[in-house]
Amino acid sequence: MVDERDEATETELELAEVIGRTLLRDPDHPAWSDARFLEWLAADAREERRHRRRRLARASGDALIARAHARRLRVGQAGNPPLVREASPTALTPRPVPVVELGIAAGVGRELWDEPAEAWVELPNDVPSGEYVALRIVGDSMAPLMHTGDTVLVRRGGDVKRDTVIVARHPDDGYVCKRVSRVRRTSIELASLAPGRPAIAIPRDVRLVVGTVILVWCTHRS
């Protein structure tokens, strides 16, 4: 639920910015001689500083939580965005990996890697040889570790271990990226990191598992 006070603060800040831009263009405006206006302007500036500090504190806390999740789930965090090429790879492109949108509506019987890739990412040098696919995340159920727009590197394979992050095909929900909370004899239980999201289960079938997430390029980390 969105805090109404935060919405009011955002509206006031937007109004102050509009007024400020207007007055800056007119240094002789009578408002600059109005003590009540100057007092309001100073109070608004103080509130903006407090609001900025709250945002920075929240972002810092999310970053710490994300690092803790990454360590527990054995997911690397890239310090730089992925090097994406929009054209088809050539012989000069070292170890290219196709980038696919996780939210695509793959047809029945189609796999993610059957979809045409319009972008490619270069595999980092420290990643061992293997079969990989890069996926762009859709949704924030794995926040703060992953967000919409982030790219994850997935090592393809049906091997599933508890407390790892996998990409799998859910019979009803399509492709999902979730934490493995439990591996049973006939099913795999998957959970989100964001609170309030229900766990889901898929049959324990290697054909439903795309692979394990080993790296995330987070666009929110800057």
> Which pLDDT score, from 0 to 100, does residue 18 have?
73
Q: Are residues 143 and 205 in the same domain?
A: yes
Least reliable range by pLDDT among 57-66, 151-160, 172-181 = 57-66
Q: Are residues 89 and 68 in the same domain?
A: no
Name residues whose C-beta falls within 8 Å of residue 32's C-beta, 6 or more positions apart in sequence: 23, 38
pLDDT above 90 for 124: no
Please answer whether residues 212 and 200 qualify as being in contact, where contact means their C-beta atoms are separated by less than 8 angstroms: no
> Which pLDDT score, from 0 to 100, does residue 185 have?
94
pLDDT above 70 for 72: yes
Q: Are residues 21 and 91 in the same domain?
A: no
Local structure of residue 124 (DSSP, 8 states): P
Name residues whose C-beta falls within 8 Å of residue 206's C-beta, 6 or more positions apart in sequence: 158
Other beta carbons within 10 Å of 160? 19
Q: Are residues 28 and 122 in the same domain?
A: no
Q: Which of 30, 49, 73 is the last residue in one of the domains? A: 73
CATH number at residue 123: 2.10.109.10
Note whether residue 52 is domain-resident.
yes
Amino acid 172 reads: D
Give this prediction's pTM: 0.71
Q: Are residues 147 and 115 in the same domain?
A: yes
For 7, how many CA atoms within 13 A lie in the half-sphere containing its CB?
4
Amino acid 150 reads: D
Other beta carbons within 10 Å of 220? 15
Range of the domain at 182: 76-217
Distance CA 40, CA 55 (A): 22
Other beta carbons within 10 Å of 32? 12
Other beta carbons within 10 Å of 62? 16
Residue 42 φ then ψ, to 5°: -65, -40
Distance CA 87, CA 120 (A): 7
Name residues whose C-beta falls within 8 Å of residue 162's C-beta, 6 or more positions apart in sequence: 180, 181, 182, 183
How confident is the model over 163-220, as pLDDT tens digits? 999 999 887 778 899 999 999 999 999 999 998 899 999 999 999 999 999 999 987 7
| Kind and range of the H or E run holding 174 | strand 174-183
How confident is the model over 37-49, as pLDDT tens digits? 667 767 777 777 7
Note whether residue 222 is domain-resident.
no
> Which pLDDT score, from 0 to 100, does residue 64 have?
82
> Which pLDDT score, from 0 to 100, does residue 216 have?
95
Number of domains in the chain: 2
